[in-house]
Each structure stands twice: as structure tokens, then as C-alpha cells.
Amino acid sequence: MESTSLIEHDTGQDAREIALVDPAGFEAWRDALPARARAAVDAAQFKGAAGARVILPGSEAESWSAAFGAPATLGPWDLAGAVKALPPGRYRIAGREPGAAALGWMLAHYTFTRYLSEPKPIEPRTLLVPKSVDIAALGRLADGQVLVRDLVNTPAEDMGPEALEAAVRDVARHHGAEVKVTVGDDLLAANFPTIHAVGRAAAAGREPRLIDMGWGRKGDPKLTIIGKGVCFDSGGLDIKTAGNMLLMKKDMGGAAHALALAGLVMGAKLRVRLRLLIPAVENAIDGGAFRPGDIIKTRKGATVEIGNTDAEGRLVLCDALALADEDSPEMILDFATLTGAARVALGPDLPALFANNEALAEGLLEGADTSSDPLWRMPLWKPYAEMLKSDVADINNSPSGGFAGAITAALYLEKFVDPKTPWAHLDTFAWMPAAKPGRPKGGEALGLRAFWAYIERRYGTHRTE
């Protein structure tokens, strides 16, 4: 999908018009139509309902336009349904600007066809936009969302730790970033014991690794982004049920979000010193798998009792967070498909945001609002830290009882970040369980645009070289 080819600046090209109609203004709009067009509207029983469309005949044999139901204020997905509802061609919105809906128009062309013998891509529908629209920036945002979808949709057989590393290297190569990778037993020598423990049971060629990408100039503010890269999660020896394991190819969704956000930062040439950290592992089962009851010393020095091997995401993240904190960045942002508890609390569409800094939290929530990419802030409720206590180690990775699972997971991660370092953690689903306009069932970026809106606003001075 070539995102920028789906949007063009309006210079008066031949194009079909789309009238956007909402129920509140329907009667006045209908009454102003010519008789033939009114007859078409009535025959289609079109009333301006969201997502409905009708073809309006013109005055000449081959001429026609369309009407599409949409609200007065357009969000990202309000025109997405028009892509499949209208034939291929070039379109302009009559008397209005598409605004945020141009992104959804592009993303509505997305299909995941890698494994289809006879792929059927969506034929392009091109939308005309005002000359003031930065098509390149809009395309980068769409491409970031597509990257998340593609990585998450790829089965674990083809998206193991090595393949995830290759994806990072591909993005790094495009932007001139540097990549260092620590693999297998070298993790122990480099003091990443929890990453090694979680991934050590994986087959040859799928060894655990820490991917460390750097970009930018040394004097610029340090921004560190971390993504959970569990390429498949069997649950380990605390094995998941078949139903719970079915979607575990998406457990590297945090890494996909982190890589996409890093690509946006580099693509916009923001004045930051960027660091991307992805602990990439497969939580597999063999005779060398880590066990419930094991005690592992983390990079930071604290010991962790393994209460459940299926609470592995926080283990790989804690070593990455400790490494990030050693560099004293201005900010640390992490993404993870971390807990089912967040989904129980907030459902699939609403990522859970945790932050140890009020200004950072407010900025991200403002970014969520301006980008129509919702987040919901959850509390780092200190009394619940009692649930993480262990009788034999400094901390337990999985409290018993099942209460406040998303909060206790975030509290676990918080222990590995200096309180003075602004840090935000996003517990995201990275998946659409059912298709919606512009968002097919499958991998999805949830929270990416919100974080990007905040980062772009904060570090909006672009490098010129």
C-alpha cells in the first residue's frame, strides 16, 4: 500500500464529488437537490446515517456524484467506509476539507495479503486535499500504522526474535540509525538475566536478544522508547490454554508500536537523541525453560521470584527499563501487550496509560484527544505494591489473587525506573477483534497516534540537515 499515492493536492483535477450529509442537516440538503437526485435519495432510503451512501445522477449521461453519511466534525475513520462503498477513481469532498479523515481514507486501503495465493488488493480511490495538507507527514503516519499491522499480523513462525531484529534493521537502514544486538548467552555476560531467562528455551535460530537502536545527535534531548517483543507466548511452563494461546503472535505488539513511533521520530527529523530498546524473545517450553519458583537477579540487582512464567512481559521489560534509566534520558516511553486485566477493565479499543509524571500524563492524554486515538489513564496505586511482595526474593512477578492485574504489572515496571525520570507505560491490545471501517480484523496500532501527537508537539523543532 503506497499511502501517499492515495492522497493528492487539489489543483482542479477531474474528480467525482462527495457530499457529506448528517441527519441533522439532511432535510435541507435533500430539498436543495434537483428532482432526479432527490428521487435517487428517496429510492435508496438515504437519510444521512453514518456510513450510508447514495449515488446521485448528474445532468449528463455519464455524470454522477455521491453522498455519504458523516458527522459535522470529521474524525479519522468517518470517511473510511466510503473507500469500499465507492468505485475506484478520484474524489473531492464538496465544500469541506477532509481533515483527520484523510488518514482513515488511506488506511481503508490496507489488506494483509502475504499468505494469499491470489491476493486481491483494494483498487485505489484517490482523495483530493487542500494544498495546506502535508501529504508526506500524513503518509508517514499511515505507514507507521501499517507497519504495526503488518508486524502483528505475521505469524510467529515468520516473526521470531531474529525476524523482529531484521524489521528494526530495515527501519534503521532507511533513516541512517545504528543498531546493536546482544543475543543468546551473551545476554548473561552483558547483565540482561531476565531477558535471557524468558527466552532461553526457544529453538536454535530463535534465541533471545536485546535490540538497541540509536539515532540523532548527542547534544539533543534523550528520548528512549521501549517495546515488549515477545514474539510468541506459550505461557511457558505455566502454559496457556489453546484459546488464550491462539492470538499470541501479537504479543510483540508493543515492539511494533515502539518501532513505528521511532520511525515517525526519525522520519520527521525531530531534534532528539533517540534510543529504541526491544527485548525480543519467544516464551517457549523445553527442559531449559525457566520455572515457577525460580529466583532471578535482574539487571538492576533486585531479585525476582517467578510466581508465574506467563507473566513474562514485565520480566523482559524490567531489564530494558533498567538499561534505559542508566543513560539518564529526558523521558522513557514503553509499549506492551502486557495484561489481560487491562482488556477486562477497558476492552480492546482503549489502551491503559500509566505514568509517574503528571505533565507527561497530561500531555499524552491531550495527544490522544487531538489525534482521536483514545487512552485511559490508570493509577499507579502505591498500596497495591504490597501484592508484589515475596517471602524469598525482593519482588514477585505475579501476585496471587488476580486483583488489579494491570496496576500491579505497572507497579512492577515502575520499580526499575528512577522516580525522577518521566516514564509512561502503555498496556495496549494491538488487535482489532472485529472489523470496523478502515480497521480490518487483526493487528492494529492503538495509542501510536496519541504518543506521536505528544512527541511531535514537544520536540517539534525539526532538524534541517
Return the active site residues. 240, 314
For 51-112, list the strands marked E by DSSP.
Answer: 53-57, 64-69, 89-93
Contacts of residue 211, Cβ cutoff 8 Å, sequence gap at least 6: 164, 165, 168, 179, 181, 229, 276, 277, 278, 279, 280
Contacts of residue 303, Cβ cutoff 8 Å, sequence gap at least 6: 295, 296, 297, 393, 394, 395
Rg (the chain; Cα; Å): 24
Q: Nearest to residue 426, comparing CAs of 403, 443, 438, 409?
A: 409
- Give 178-182 contacts, CB < 8 A, sequence gap 24+: 178/213, 178/214, 178/215, 179/211, 179/212, 179/213, 179/214, 180/212, 180/213, 180/214, 181/209, 181/210, 181/211, 181/212, 182/209, 182/210, 182/212
Note the Cα 439 to chain centre separation in Å. 12
Instruction: State the Cα torsion 134-137-143-149 to the nearest 10°.
Output: -100
Angle of the 448-458 helix axis to the 253-267 helix axis, nearest 10: 30
Separation CA 111–CA 88 (nearest Å): 16
Separation CA 156–CA 465 (nearest Å): 39
